[in-house]
């Protein structure tokens, strides 16, 4: 306040001086007459200061405060000034002057430098611990500036911030090392460390689980599902029946851990758990009685019955299965409680159910069940005579079978051979009794037509064969035609 009062007095004083001597030119004479020029200098200085703006004067006051004694003398007058002038320099030890200078200094600090105000503002805005990055913060609490462990060069983990906000805390970040037999980072597995997983947990029946080379997943190439014939070596772990597999592998783990070899298959053939499971494993039990096991001891009978009723093979051969077997020709003569094989000439009435050939009996009885349910009468015999499946069976059944469209073994009777127009891709063929002595050796002709049997050489090998001749225009049996104008063929 004292500085302000002094500046105010300086502003007024020159005015008074000038006002007091308006006419005599005191300012100019005084400056000339004075010995030291003090009065004139002061007048000039004051006049100049009078014309200065308050802002300029205030600045001078601050500069004067910051300056030394010589500067003060130049700005404020000579060395003979009173204590008030010394106060302006801020160098005097006077208590009052010191107080004024302090006040002036405070004003300058606040107005020009702004140190106190700026310092207080910075402290209030840059606060570590408020979960917000500001000022010199690298991070602040949960505010990581969008950074994470990966952006910091790690493979994973949780990035944090140091308590003083000066840097990131990477102590919870991780680096993945694949190949050290220890799961870490993003490893799914690592070498022998499979995280307690195995082939079974991966959905397979057995085998050896491994880890991929890059630790990103499991290698299941050594895993396998059980499959293959239980009663034959199948080169895979286990076999296709769970019950049989469990029984055999319990006694010999190699059969499931490595492969089902001959020893495993041999054990299955002897184990009740593997009976009738399919493949090479046999069914057991009487086909015409409930036997308590799947299937029965005859494969043909089992196939026929289970084809109509899968329960008989999938579960157990019960009374219904046995009853079906008693009525099925595929089960005739298979032993046990099943009826003896049919007997009697298939091409003649024989007074018994069926005839002595299963295939012929099956075909004829399929068309006329009476032939098997009751007896094989003349109607059944006639049907057999006209049936290809009954050709070449001997007895009253005709020879001259159709070996063009059927296997020779199925239609040519005892002593007959298949005679054809060519060995490869024949267009005409017939079963002929080989090396006959006369027509009396020839079998009966098939029904239809009137072509007679003849014992002649038709192949040019000088050996006579029983054939049917049509050289005189005779009619060949049903289904046959006259080949080359002399021989009935199929």
Q: Which tens digit of pLDDT belongs to each residue from 34-46?
A: 344 434 433 333 3
pLDDT at 278: 73
Q: Where is 123: in which H helix or E strand?
A: helix 115-125
Q: What percent of the chain has pLDDT over 90?
A: 27
Average of per-residue pLDDT values in the chain: 75
Average pLDDT over residues 458-474: 91
Separate counts of helices (H) and strands (E) for the chain = 18, 14
Average pLDDT over residues 233-256: 89
Residue 246 has pLDDT above 70, yes or no: yes
Average pLDDT over residues 465-488: 91
- CA–CA gap between residue 339 and residue 322 (Å, rounded): 12
Average pLDDT over residues 10-18: 38
Average pLDDT over residues 164-171: 95
**Residue 304: φ, ψ to 5°:** -65, -45
Q: Is 13 left (phi over 0), alpha (psi -120 to 50) or beta?
A: alpha
- CA–CA gap between residue 197 and residue 211 (Å, rounded): 10
Confidence of residue 293 (pLDDT cuts 50, 70, 90): confident
CB 420 within 8 A of CB 404: yes
Average pLDDT over residues 458-486: 90
User: With the CA atoms of 254, 257, 258 and 259 taken in that order, what torsion angle do they form, in degrees rounded to the nearest 10?
Assistant: 80
Residue 471 has pLDDT above 80, yes or no: yes
Top mean-pLDDT range of 119-128, 263-272, 279-288: 263-272
pLDDT at 240: 86
- CA–CA gap between residue 237 and residue 260 (Å, rounded): 5
- CA–CA gap between residue 381 and residue 357 (Å, rounded): 12
More confident residue, 457 or 120: 457
pLDDT at 68: 43
Confidence of residue 141 (pLDDT cuts 50, 70, 90): very high
Average pLDDT over residues 405-410: 84
Confidence of residue 126 (pLDDT cuts 50, 70, 90): low
Residue 404 has pLDDT above 50, yes or no: yes
Inter-CA distances, 54 with 8, 57, 59, 65, 346, Å = 10, 5, 9, 16, 149
pLDDT at 131: 92
Residue 30 has pLDDT above 70, yes or no: no
Q: What is the tens place of the pLDDT at every residue in 55-95?
A: 333 333 444 333 444 444 333 334 444 444 443 334 444 44
Please tell me the number of Cα atoms within 13 Å of 381 on its side-chain side. Answer: 17
- CA–CA gap between residue 233 and residue 105 (Å, rounded): 107
Q: Where is 477: in which H helix or E strand?
A: none
Residue 50 has pLDDT above 50, yes or no: no
Average pLDDT over residues 236-259: 89
Q: What is the tens place of the pLDDT at every residue in 343-360?
A: 888 888 888 888 888 888
Residue 484 has pLDDT above 60, yes or no: yes
Cβ-based neighbours of 361, under 8 Å, separated by 6 or more: 329, 332, 342, 346, 354, 355, 371, 372
- pTM for the whole thing? 0.36
Which structure tokens are listed for 266? 């041999």
Average pLDDT over residues 381-408: 82
Residue 11 has pLDDT above 50, yes or no: no
- CA–CA gap between residue 431 and residue 214 (Å, rounded): 72
- CA–CA gap between residue 158 and residue 168 (Å, rounded): 11
DSSP letter assigned to residue 29: H
Residue 99 has pLDDT above 80, yes or no: no
pLDDT at 12: 40
Which structure tokens are listed for 295? 């299937």
Residue 157 has pLDDT above 90, yes or no: no
Average pLDDT over residues 41-53: 39
Average pLDDT over residues 131-135: 91
Q: What is the tens place of the pLDDT at every residue in 422-459?
A: 877 889 999 898 899 998 888 887 778 899 999 999 88
Inter-CA distances, 261 with 191, 241, 279, Å = 30, 15, 15
């Amino acid at each position: 306040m004292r500085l302000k009062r002094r500046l105010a007095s300086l502003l007024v004083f020159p005015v008074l001086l000038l006002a007091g001597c308006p006419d005599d030119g005191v300012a100019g004479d005084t400056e000339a007459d004075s010995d030291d020029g003090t009065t004139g200098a002061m007048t000039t200085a004051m006049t100049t200061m009078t014309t200065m703006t308050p802002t300029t004067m205030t600045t001078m006051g601050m500069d004067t405060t910051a300056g030394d004694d010589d500067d003060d003398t130049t700005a404020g007058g000579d060395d003979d000034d009173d204590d008030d002038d010394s106060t302006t320099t801020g160098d005097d030890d006077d208590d009052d002057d010191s107080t004024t200078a302090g006040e002036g200094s405070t004003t300058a600090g606040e107005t020009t430098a702004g140190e106190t105000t700026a310092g207080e503002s910075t402290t209030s805005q840059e606060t570590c611990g408020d979960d917000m990055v500001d000022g010199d913060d690298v991070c602040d609490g949960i505010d990581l500036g969008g950074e994470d462990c990966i952006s910091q060069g790690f493979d994973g983990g949780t990035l944090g911030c140091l308590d003083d906000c000066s840097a990131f805390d990477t102590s919870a970040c991780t680096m993945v090392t694949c190949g050290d037999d220890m799961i870490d980072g993003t490893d799914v597995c690592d070498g022998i460390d499979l995280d307690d997983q195995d082939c079974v947990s991966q959905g397979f029946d057995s085998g050896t689980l491994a880890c991929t080379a890059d630790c990103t997943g499991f290698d299941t190439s050594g895993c396998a599902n059980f499959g293959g014939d239980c009663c034959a070596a199948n080169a895979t772990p286990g076999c296709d029946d769970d019950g049989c597999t469990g029984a055999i592998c319990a006694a010999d783990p190699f059969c499931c851990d490595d492969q089902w070899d001959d020893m495993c298959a041999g054990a299955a053939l002897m184990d009740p758990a593997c009976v009738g499971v399919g493949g090479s494993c046999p069914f057991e039990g009487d086909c015409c009685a409930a036997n308590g096991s799947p299937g029965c001891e005859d494969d043909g009978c089992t196939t026929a019955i289970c084809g109509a009723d899968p329960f008989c093979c999938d579960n157990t051969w019960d009374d219904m299965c046995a009853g079906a077997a008693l009525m099925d020709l595929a089960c005739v003569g298979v032993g046990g409680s099943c009826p003896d094989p049919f007997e009697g000439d298939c091409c003649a009435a024989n007074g018994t159910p069926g005839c002595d050939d299963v295939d012929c009996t099956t075909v004829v009885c399929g068309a006329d069940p009476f032939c098997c349910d009751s007896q094989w009468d003349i109607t059944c015999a006639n049907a057999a005579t006209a049936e290809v499946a009954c050709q070449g069976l001997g007895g009253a059944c005709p020879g001259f079978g159709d070996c063009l469209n059927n296997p020779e073994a199925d239609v040519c009777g005892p002593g007959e051979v298949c005679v054809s127009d060519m060995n490869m891709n024949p267009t005409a063929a017939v079963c002929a009794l080989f090396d006959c002595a006369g027509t009396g050796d020839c079998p009966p002709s098939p029904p239809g037509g009137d072509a007679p049997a003849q014992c002649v050489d038709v192949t040019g090998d000088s050996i006579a064969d029983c054939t049917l001749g049509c050289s005189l225009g005779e009619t060949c049996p049903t289904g046959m035609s006259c080949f080359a104008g002399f021989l009935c063929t199929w």
